[in-house]
A = this chain, B = another copy of it.
Amino acid sequence: MRVLHHYMLSSASRFVRIYLDEQKMEFLPKLEEYWKSEAAFLKLNVAGTVPVLVEDDGTVLCGAYVIAEYFDDILQEKPLLQGRPAERAEIRRLFDWLCRRFDRDVMQPLLNERLIRRMTGGGVPSSVVIRTALSNLGVHLAYFNHLVEHRQWLAGSKMSIADLMAAASLSVLDFMNDINWDDWGELKIWYARIKSRPSFRPLLADQVTGMSPPGHYTNLDF
């Protein structure tokens, strides 16, 4: 069976878990503490990052972008990247926004300060970095909220990889209790819709040593 090397609080890993489940593809999850840079894992992905998906035939797929486009290449039906070329371009624009800009401005700094530092004995988290990331988060959430005020889903009228990546990222932030949902009415409705999908259930059961999500994290009527 295909094996997914992932980490619970990596949003790109969460994206792939939801993606595979939405596409009804089975996989064996393998927890990877990627910051340890173990030789066997670096051999799979020299970049040392998760997610990495190893297919039955030995094909190694590194990263959310590569994995999503790989399945777009081989699947006949494309429910998560569908539409005319211009519609697919809009999906990819937002997917890219989340993988790069949102990741750089919000996810990486927060995970580095709160998780990686602790795991690697890297000292006290920087409150300046955390504050900046949370301030960035507000700007991004305002944009996402604006989008779903005007569209059914993030990139248009259909659920797409942009929604899955956004939901995966926000679920990590929600786990860390960084989102005040009352401030983002439309986005909260959108998130509740994705959160109640069966593909999301395994994420809500994730446990991370030394970190407890807030009460509303697993609540579908939060």
Contacts and interface: CB of A to CB of B under 8 A. Distances in A.
Interface in A73-101: 73-74, 85-86, 88-89, 92-93, 96-97, 99-101
B104 A66 contact: no
Nearest to A146: B46
Contacts of A62: 93
Given A69-B69, A70-B85, A85-B73, A63 B96 contact: yes
A69 B92 contact: yes
A11 to B, nearest CB: 14
A126 to B, nearest CB: 17
B65 A92 contact: yes
A63 B99 CA distance: 13
A10 B88 CA distance: 24
A213 to B, nearest CB: 28
Contacts of A65: 65, 92, 96
Interface of A: 46-47, 59, 61-63, 65-66, 69-70, 73-74, 85-86, 88-89, 92-93, 96-97, 99-101, 104, 143
